[in-house]
Amino acid sequence: LMQLSIPLNFIGFIYREIRQGLTDIEQMFDLLDVDAEVQDAPDAQPLVIENGNIKFNDVYFAYDENRPILKGISFEVPAGKSVAIVGPSGAGKSTLSRLLFRFYDVQKGAITIDGHDLRDVTQKSLRAAIGMVPQDTVLFNDTLAYNIRYGRPDASQEEIEKAAELAQIGNFVRTVPDGFNAMVGERGLKLSGGEKQRVAIARTILKAPPILILDEATSALDTATEQEIQDSLDEVSKGRTTLVIAHRLSTVIKCDEIIVLRDGLIAERGRHAELMKLKDGLYAKMWERQMEATEAEQRLRKAQEAD
């Protein structure tokens, strides 16, 4: 049993590390001694970002060849702008972010950043250029400061505190007895989903990447928390090329373009107001359903309060 439990712990550790920040992914694969899905080309060059313009050009992708997930997807995220991907569950939204991170290669078409095909650049330089705010952040069993500094190990205490303020987590830290030195995790401070996400945002503010992927949380947050998260996301995405993977719809209203995925194709695209005008449009229907769900939830909450 000992022999079995050690590797299992180790795999758990690796898994958490990978989910953590996705910064040291090559190192993780080295540790595990497994081949990553993709390899650097022998003549791969470091990616040099000039503006941070992302292009998906007629992208086809399938995890399993009998079941295509993306069937010719083209869109652009102009430098400094934000584009949201929405669509039914399983439509392939997160797959687009995995392709941009180059966890997999496209099967047809290309993805480029400032004109450089992702297959021609080193994975290390690509991942250094992209910041990811995942939907559920797993924190290290260490101090709050350590968890934020992970975004940039040479950051000073002052920079950490500034990032925490921008991420709207400063007020929370002030209520904690040990402040930034408080231990978090299983035996320390327990953070809510929203607080964890703001730690991830502070970390990303420190990393200051030119390109951002925001993977919006699936679980419902209360309105006040949602507004705080929204404000800190606005802060971190200011001036950065941002791809929003939207499992809910609240963050997409302000995006420069919204792409609606369905059955591996782009079904609708445009800004919020334009898409809402489409009679029987998929986007307008998704909003309708989300509003109904929110109202039902509020009614339930009121009924529980009245009890």
Q: How far is the CB of 95 from ligand ATP (least distance, A)?
A: 3
Q: How far is the CB of 69 from ligand ATP (least distance, A)?
A: 5
Q: How far is the CB of 264 from ligand ATP (least distance, A)?
A: 9
Beta strands in 149-304 (DSSP E): 211-215, 241-245, 257-262, 265-270
Cβ-based nearer residue to ligand ATP, 73 or 166 = 73
Cβ-based nearer residue to ligand ATP, 12 or 90 = 90
Q: How far is the CB of 280 from ligand ATP (least distance, A)?
A: 22
- Give the interface with ligand ATP as residue ranges (CB under 6 A): 63-64, 69, 87, 89-95, 247
Which two structure tokens, joined as six digits, stand for 182? Answer: 């408080």
Q: How far is the CB of 263 from ligand ATP (least distance, A)?
A: 11
Between CA 301 and CA 251 the distance in angstroms is 23
Q: Residues 57, 112: contact at Cβ < 8 Å?
A: yes
Cβ-based nearer residue to ligand ATP, 93 or 149 = 93
Distances (CA, A) of 183 to 138, 164, 173: 14, 16, 12
Cβ-based nearer residue to ligand ATP, 103 or 146 = 103
Cβ-based nearer residue to ligand ATP, 93 or 127 = 93
For 76, the enclosing helix (H) or strand (E) is: strand 70-77
Between CA 54 and CA 111 the distance in angstroms is 7
Which two structure tokens, joined as six digits, stand for 238? Answer: 């200011």
211-215 and 130-133: which strand pairing?
Answer: parallel
